[in-house]
Structure 1
Amino acid sequence: MPCMNTPTSTPSPSAHRIARRSVWSRLCRACALGWFLAAWALQQGVGAAPAHQAEAQTFGPLISATALAAQRAQVRIIDLRDMASEPHVAHIPGALPAPYADWRGPASNPGQLRPLAEFTALVRRLGLTAETPVVLVASGSDPSDFGAPARVYWTLKWLGLKHLAILNGGMTAWLAAGLSLTREPTPPAAPSAFTPQLDGALLATRAEVAQDLARPGTLLLDARPRAFYLGREKAPIARCPGTLPGALDFDNLRWFEQGSAALPDTATLERVAQTLPQPLAAAPSAEVVSFCNTGHWAATNWFVLSQVLHRPHVALYPGSMVDWSRADAPMAHVPTRLQQLWQQLEQTWQAL
């Protein structure tokens, strides 16, 4: 069936999802202090130089290059760059390679979750447990690149890891700080016996999103550039352009200051959050589902809202619009066939 603009009426809300979100909220409140104290205690053992002590006492969700340098021996660094597994590539000493593609779905649907057994094997190969402090490193080449560590952060948190951080600015920030690199391969980690403890509150499946369409309290947040939201552009592997019915749009690049691939300080992010679409800006505790084309840009919106600004009830739809459009599900802002043909011709012309 062709993609069509469709009314937003859908089946009744999922009581199971509402219940699990409620349970998660209570658990978070009960455990937050315990987790904070555990992380604080962990970092008290870090032998950091005095200049880094203030930074060393907080772990995640973001970490600066200098703070990581001070804690390097106490954390597991995961290098997500495409070339990370190639021989003699310069990297942070001690970093283990696990390219972003290892965490993604097939080329036909990159946002699709890998089988749980594959994720488990990958986490075990990296020697990670639920308690391992992990720092994720990407290239930091541009703001879009931030989606890679954000998506892997979400994946690990969904799997049950508790102590996670992203190197803010990635390798670009590390190099700018003049910190050391090595070309010597990092010895493989001793495999762990990790067992996933899935946090279902972080995941929005296609079936749940379909139910959320009928629930006024759930806000669907499109992280793509506005042209995608309006149906003027689409991902090449999406069936057709458009967005989820009733979705709000907030381009993930708006969190970043011009010319920077690192997130600004929390106060700046709070000010940016005031420019969120009014329903979300006015209701910071509303349930939110973040989506994009394949769950890459959406991971940045999820990360900032959930992990940095601590807004509750923020989930990620990993398959996003590629998955949704292929299911012939209801969509908004779908152009006519003639408009779609014209857009394809324009894109072809621009590519010449």
Structure 2
Amino acid sequence: MRLTIKTWLLPALALLWAGLAQAAGLPGPVVDSAWLAANLGEVQVFEVRSNPKSFTAAPEFETDAKTGKKTLVEVGGHIPGARLMDTKPLRTDKKVGELTVKYMLPEMAAFETIMQAVGVDADRPIVLVPVGTDVVDLDDALRAYWQLKVYGEDNIAVLDGGMAAWLLEGRAHSSDAAPAKTGSWRAKADRSARYGADSEAVAAAVASKSATLIDGRDLRSYHGLARRDYVHAAGHIPGAKVLPPELLTRPVSGGAVKLHSLATYRGIAAVTGVDADKPSIAYCNSGHLASGPWFVMSELLGHKNARLYDGSMHQWTLEKRPVEGAIPLQ
């Protein structure tokens, strides 16, 4: 019996399409440099930088005269073909009642315009690359990740170890400026209620203990021994547990930091009093460092009820809401 074209061609096309889709997809919310190097042609890469000049600068290394071991002194350049995502336009002032709250997520239309200006295209996997030398610049990328998630993007991942690990592995890099490009990315939905929390939601969680509040700041800030100038009271939100940034990454040889294993994150949550299986709301001073605990709870440990309080301590104290736990300064 002869096979008709329909009999053999359609299944073959289906298999081909499935193979292409798998090749173009992301393996999860985190990719390593080996995977990215093998799949550069299938994804769009964005270097998330608070210092845009570093995108076109040369990296700086120190070499031990005895061992020949390289240590990264300053990250410079970028992965070939990557584009720059400057962190500054990603945050904005927002009116909340009569108050002006700083460092907030832009409205959906404005964020869409920002992403298009960066060169983000629709319907193509996105890989965000942090600088990779400390948790603060990692959180720059995780904050951008959260913002994209809020506005409907799910085909997105972060490079573990960032540009620092990429350079330390001796992989190719470029210091060329990226040509101007307008991307086609469009916001698919406003999922602020799913991934974000406002002051009222935080206050309700304080009153009902329905969610674990996770303070993503350092211990000095949590205990009121240090305070940013835009935070108007010392201490922390009542009942909050602290998951300090120094616990969220591990150093690797040469000057990069990487993420822990899932088992380690569960252990860290346990010793800090964070119930990894309970709904959570992460916060910090301005919604930046909170991106780390949110990412761990939501994207790595897979909790569907993990949210980030965008206004964080800045908005909470601007609204004169209660704080606790400040150590008296003599």
Q: Which band: TM-score by shorter chain?
A: 0.7 to 0.9
- Give the C-alpha shift of residue 275 in structure 1: 2.1
Number of the residue aligned with 1:62: 30
- Residue of structure 1 equivalent to 2:85: 98
Structure 1 residue aligned with 2:14: none
1:150 to 142, 146, 159: 142
Identity of aligned residues (%): 27
CA distance in structure 1 between the aligned counterparts of 2:56 and 2:224, rounded to whole angstroms: 44
Partner residue, 2:215: 222
Aligned AA for 1:320?
S
Q: Give deviations 1:182-234, integer Å, cap 9, x for gaps.
A: 12222334431613401121000112212222222211111112221111211
How far did 1:314 drift? 0.5
Read off the aligned partner of 1:218 and give its amino acid letter.
A
Change (3 A) 1:80 1:258: closer
**Larger strand proportion, structure 1 or 2?**
2
Paired residues of 1:285 and 1:313 also in contact (CA < 8 A): no
| TM-superposition CA deviations, 1:123-165 (whole Å, max 9, x none) | 2224435633111112112122211111110000001101111
The residue identity in structure 2 corresponding to 1:79 is E
2:269 to 259, 270, 273: 273
Instruction: Provide the C-alpha distance between the structure 2 equivalents of 1:41 and 1:222, rounded to a whole number of angstroms.
Output: 43
For 2:61, the equivalent position in structure 1 comes to none
Higher helix share: 1
Runs of 5+ in structure 1 lacking a partner? Answer: 1-39, 47-56, 343-352
Confirm or deny: 8 A CA contact 2:122 2:185 kept in the other structure: no
Aligned equivalent of 2:258: 262
Residue 120 of structure 1: SS of its match in structure 2? helix
Q: How many residues in Structure 1 have an aligned counterpart in Structure 2? A: 285
Report Cα offsets for 1:215-263 as digits up to 9, x if no partner: 2221111111222111121112211211111111121321222565211
Displacement of 1:86 after TM fit?
Answer: 7.0
Q: Which residue of 2 aligns with 1:44?
A: 22
The answer for the alignment partner of 1:350 in structure 2 is none
Could you say which residue in structure 1 is the equivalent of 2:52?
Answer: 84
C-alpha RMSD of the superposition:
2.5
Equivalent position of 1:317 in the other structure: 309
1:102-181 equivalent positions in 2, closer than 5 A: 102-105=89-92, 110-128=102-120, 131-181=123-173
Counterpart in 2 of 1:18? none
Could you tell me the TM-score, scaled by structure 1's length? 0.74
Q: Which amino acid aligns with 1:59?
A: P
Residue deviations 1:266-305, cap 9 Å, x none?
333333333230xx33xx3321100111111110000011
Q: Distance in 1 between matches of 2:297 and 2:286?
A: 19
2:32–2:159: 8 Å Cα contact kept in structure 1?
A: yes
Write the distance in 1 (CA, Å) between the matches of 2:161 and 2:202: 32
> C-alpha distance in 2, partners of 1:42/1:204?
37
The one of 214, 218, 227 equivalent to 1:234 is: 227
Aligned match of 2:67: none
Larger Rg: 2
Greater mean alpha carbon deviation, residues 250-259 or residues 139-148: 250-259
Contact 2:112–2:185, Cα closer than 8 Å, also in 1: no
Unpaired runs of 5+ residues, structure 2, are 1-17, 58-76, 95-99
Q: TM-score, normalised by structure 2?
A: 0.78
1:117, 1:195 → 2: CA distance? 8
Shift in CA distance, 264/195, structure 1 to aligned 2, threshold 3 Å? closer
- SS of residue in 2 equivalent to 1:144: helix
Contact in 1 for aligned 2:197/2:307 (Cα 8 Å): yes
Partners of 2:200 and 2:225 in 1: how far apart? 26
One-letter code of the match for 2:80? P
Distance in 1 (alpha carbons) for counterparts of 2:32 and 2:102? 29
- Structure-2 change in CA distance of 1:292 and 1:263 (3 Å): same
Q: Which of 1 and 2 has higher RCO (CA within 8 Å, sep 6+)?
A: 1
Q: 1:212 to 1:269 in 2, by over 3 A?
A: closer
CA contact (8 A) 2:26 2:156 kept: no
Going from structure 1 to structure 2, the CA distance change for 1:204 and 1:141 (only over 3 Å counts) comes to: same
